[in-house]
A and B are shown apart, each in its own frame.
Chain A
Amino acid sequence: MTPTPVTSPPPPIAMLAELTHRCPLSCPYCSNPAQMARIDAELDTDTWARVFREAADLGVLQLHLSGGEPASRRDLTQLIHAARGAGLYTNLITSGIGLTERRLREMDEAGLDHIQLSLQGTTPEMADEIGGYRGGFDRKMMVAGWIKEIGFPLTLNAVLHRKNLHQLPRALEIAQEMGARRIEVATVQFHGWALKNRDALMPTREQNREATRIVLEARERLKGTLVIDYVPADYHEEYPKRCMGGWGQAGLNVAPDGQVLPCHAAQTIPHLRFENVRDSALHHIWYDSAAFNAYRGTDWMPEPCASCDRKLKDFGGCRCQAMALLGDPNATDPVCVKSPHHIDLQARADAHAAADAPLVYRPQPPKVSEPAE
């Protein structure tokens, strides 16, 4: 059966609002771009509130408040209030650092629907080394206690890589102790800062297999108690991920300075220009902007994707990954077995996994614009 080509794009379901690139942590796999948005360029409260209303009108149902660390915004509670007022299901993606019991109670009153808490490791030693923030783990555990007491629905997001994949069984226990309904077992994806840390973080093939085994076993055992979502190590897979549910198909990201991106790494693709919510309506950006149409659907596809029966399943994989690994954003994602570069990538993944290097931490965004030269 030949799949029907995608004609008119559907409205977006989800929007990721990157409220700031500030963060007390400096995880070496952070997905924030190398060129972070300046603090003085961040959108203000009213502009975000307008963007939330435009998003709801456009068809967005799920709003993810993210960063950086969204708690670094003083107006976070107001933003939650505005999002709920717009009718959006409001999810806070946080490391927990910067949240107090009082702030959490205010967010509860403002209508926050759900919290996704990140976990850098299951022991203070591991978590604080990875996050680059001493005392971060203990603080996070306190925050988790308040979250449980208030009764927020919780997803624990355990970010795993070569250094901490052995902690996966404990991460599953911690999720249950925290009262989480769901855990995301997310093996690091090599975008953003993670690209600089492949020698330090790339899991071995064996680790990836073991993690998959543990997840499958735990899914059976914890059915109806803890839902486990699993993102395996992508360089070791046979087929690429359906990134963002397909370019311009399901979701959009708004960067701290108001640029609207089809995915959080889209700025790595040099020929794309992004429009800004300060100047353009979200509706126009979603349906008519060049960036959202660049890789939308299947028309742009080269072989082997163009004649592949999986093309509506994964939309040819990740454009930013093709860019990062092959220098060509139009190429088939090299993770795919059908890509002529697949074998080479497997060898590179094994080499990264066998190597070692000190961690390169993510820095803080610049405060103000650099003085003109």
Chain B
Amino acid sequence: MIDGGAIPTLPRGVRVHFDRVRDTWVLLAPERTVTLDGIGHAILSEVDGARSFDQITTTLAEKYQAPHAQIAKDSAAFLKTLADRRFLDLTEAHG
């Protein structure tokens, strides 16, 4: 799981990009490309380097009318995989 107060951030050199040739969203990272499905893209669209994991999953739960626990579980799994590959930083909440 990811700590609710942790702030996910895309580090320098990792960015979301629309691949116009394949008509899909992708995550571009150093020498790697990850194709994003709708859910992955929705989660990363909320990652702004300011809001905490809790705030992000609350927003997603409201937007997609889904149970918060489920959204939190799916998002954590997805973000954790990215963090393990160093495509995402999880910074501790301030204060």
Taken residue by residue from 35 to 61, chain A's Cβ proximity to chain B (1 for < 8 Å, 0 otherwise) reads as 000000000000000000000011101
Q: Which 5 A-B pairs have the closest CB atoms?
A: A153-B13, A59-B21, A181-B86, A114-B30, A89-B28
Task: Give the Cβ gap from B53 to chain A, nearest Cβ, in Å.
Answer: 16
| Given A152-B13, A182-B86, A223-B84, residue A91 in contact with residue B30 (CB < 8 A) | yes
C-alpha spacing A153/B32, complex, angstroms: 13
C-alpha spacing A155/B21, complex, angstroms: 28
Taken residue by residue from 53 to 71, chain A's Cβ proximity to chain B (1 for < 8 Å, 0 otherwise) reads as 0000111011010000000
Size of the B side of the interface (Cβ < 8 Å), in residues, is 18
Task: Give the Cβ gap from B66 to chain A, nearest Cβ, in Å.
Answer: 28
Chain B residues near A181 (CB, 8 Å)?
Answer: 11, 30, 86
Give the contacting residue for A113; candidates B19, B21, B30; CB below 8 A: B30
Contact yes or no, A91 B86, CB < 8 A: no
A11, A87, A114, A225 interface centre (most CB from chain B within 10 Å): A114
Task: Give the Cβ gap from A337 to chain B, nearest Cβ, in Å.
Answer: 30
Chain A residues near B22 (CB, 8 Å)?
Answer: 11, 59
**Interface flag for A197 (CB, 8 Å):** no
A interface secondary structure, majority: loop
C-alpha spacing A226/B30, complex, angstroms: 13
C-alpha spacing A155/B87, complex, angstroms: 13
| Given A61-B33, A116-B31, A227-B85, residue A11 in contact with residue B21 (CB < 8 A) | yes
Taken residue by residue from 147 to 173, chain A's Cβ proximity to chain B (1 for < 8 Å, 0 otherwise) reads as 000011101000000000000000000
Task: Give the Cβ gap from B74 to chain A, nearest Cβ, in Å.
Answer: 20
C-alpha spacing A225/B11, complex, angstroms: 13
**Interface flag for B83 (CB, 8 Å):** yes
Give the contacting residue for A224; candidates B13, B31, B84; CB below 8 A: B84
